[in-house]
C-alpha cells in the first residue's frame, strides 16, 4: 500500500446503503475507486463521483491495493470470493477490509484463506448507520494483525474512528457486543415508554424528564425520539437487527456462553419480523410491543 495521503487503487464490493457513501468518500478523498455490486443499478451512480464501475467482482479486484468489502453477509462474501473465485484476482500484498457484519468464525476463516494467497485481511465492521457513513463519523472495530491495522489507518480515517481490539474475528465480536447492547436497549426504551403511555403519561415528556439521568443514552435520544414521533423509516432495519442477534447467539453457542437476555430479544425481533415489521427501522420493535398492549 502507498504511504499516507497518496492516492490508492481501491476496490469496493457492495454499494448498498452503507457501501455507497463509503465509496463516495473514497472518491472524494482522491482515491481510484473500482466499484462492484450484485445489483448494478446500485453502483452505477458512483461513476458520477469518478469511480470505475465493474461488471464483475474479479474485474474490480484486479488492480486493487486495498479492498473495502460491504457485502451483506458472510455467506455472500464466501460465495463471491471463493465459490465464484473472485479472490483469485487479488494481488499478493493487497489488504482486504471486511467491513460488513458477519460471524467471527466466518471472519477468521476468510482471513486464513486469503492469507494463503498472500492477502492480508482485517475484520472491521462499523457502527454509526447511514449518517455516519455519509459524514465520515463511523466507529470501526478492527480484528487482525497490528501491522495490518497500521497499514489501513489512512483508509479508516476516511470513514471515521478505528480501534484495534484483537486478533482476527475480534472486530466482529465487538460489533456483536455493540448490536446486542443496541437491540436490547431499544427494547428497554420502547417498553418503558409504552408502559408510561398505557398508564396515561405523555411519552415525549417522560423522555424529556429522564434525559440527563442514569437512564439517558444515545438510544433514548435517537431511537426514543423516533418512537415518540412514530418515525420508523429504515436506517437499520428490524431484519438486520434480527440477523445480528442470531449471529450473537450462534457465536455464544460456539464458545459455550449462555446469553439469555439476547435470546429473549432475538425472539421479540423475530416475532416483529413475522408480523410484517422486518423492513421498519429497528426502533420499530416499539410497534410490536405497542400492538401486544393494545396501543396504536
Can you tell me the distance from the alpha carbon of 292 to that of 82, in angstroms, rounded to the nearest whole number? Answer: 45
Tens-digit pLDDT string for the chain (296 aa): 444 567 899 999 999 999 999 999 999 999 999 999 999 999 999 999 999 999 999 999 999 999 999 998 999 999 999 999 999 999 999 999 999 999 999 999 999 999 999 999 999 999 988 889 999 999 999 999 999 999 999 999 999 999 999 999 999 999 999 999 999 999 999 999 999 999 999 999 999 999 999 999 999 999 999 999 999 999 889 999 999 999 999 999 999 999 999 999 999 999 999 999 999 999 999 999 999 999 97
pLDDT given at position 143: 98
C-alpha cell at 257: 456462553
Owner of C-alpha cell 448494478:
40
Sign of CA dihedral 137, 142, 147, 151: negative
CA triplet 130, 36, 2: central angle to 5 degrees? 85
Distance from first CA to last CA of the chain, Å, rounded?
55
Is 145 noted as a catalytic residue in this protein?
no
**What is the structure's pLDDT at 129?**
85
Q: Are 206 and 212 in contact (CB under 8 A)?
A: no
In the set 42, 175, 237, 243, the catalytic residue is 175
Amino acid at each position: 500500500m502507498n504511504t499516507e495521503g497518496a492516492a490508492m487503487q481501491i476496490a469496493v464490493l457492495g454499494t448498498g446503503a452503507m457501501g455507497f457513501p463509503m465509496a463516495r468518500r473514497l472518491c472524494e478523498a482522491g482515491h481510484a475507486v473500482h466499484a462492484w455490486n450484485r445489483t448494478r443499478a446500485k453502483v452505477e451512480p458512483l461513476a458520477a463521483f469518478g469511480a470505475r464501475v465493474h461488471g464483475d467482482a474479479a474485474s474490480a479486484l484486479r488492480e486493487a491495493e486495498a479492498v473495502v468489502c460491504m457485502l451483506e453477509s458472510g455467506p455472500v462474501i464466501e460465495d463471491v470470493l471463493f465459490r465464484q473465485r473472485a479472490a483469485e484476482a487479488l494481488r499478493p500484498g493487497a489488504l482486504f477490509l471486511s467491513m460488513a457484519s458477519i460471524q467471527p468464525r466466518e471472519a477468521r476463516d476468510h482471513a486464513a484463506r486469503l492469507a494463503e494467497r498472500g492477502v492480508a485481511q482485517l475484520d472491521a465492521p462499523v457502527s454509526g448507520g447511514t449518517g455516519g457513513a455519509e459524514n465520515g463519523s463511523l466507529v470501526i472495530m478492527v480484528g487482525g494483525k497490528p501491522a495490518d491495522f497500521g497499514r489501513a489507518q489512512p483508509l479508516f480515517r476516511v470513514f471515521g474512528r478505528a480501534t484495534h481490539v484483537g486478533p482476527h474475528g475480534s472486530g466482529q465480536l465487538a460489533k456483536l457486543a455493540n448490536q446486542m447492547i443496541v437491540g436490547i436497549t431499544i427494547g428497554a426504551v420502547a417498553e418503558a415508554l409504552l408502559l408510561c403511555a398505557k398508564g396515561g403519561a405523555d411519552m415525549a415528556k417522560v423522555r424529556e424528564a429522564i434525559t440527563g439521568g442514569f437512564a439517558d443514552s444515545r438510544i433514548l435520544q435517537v431511537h426514543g425520539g423516533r418512537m415518540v414521533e412514530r418515525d420508523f423509516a429504515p436506517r437499520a432495519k428490524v431484519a438486520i437487527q434480527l440477523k445480528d442477534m442470531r449471529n450473537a447467539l450462534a457465536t455464544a453457542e460456539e464458545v459455550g456462553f449462555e446469553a439469555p437476555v439476547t435470546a429473549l430479544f432475538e425472539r421479540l425481533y423475530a416475532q416483529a419480523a413475522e408480523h410484517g415489521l422486518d423492513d421498519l427501522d429497528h426502533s420499530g420493535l416499539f410497534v410490536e410491543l405497542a400492538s401486544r398492549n393494545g396501543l396504536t
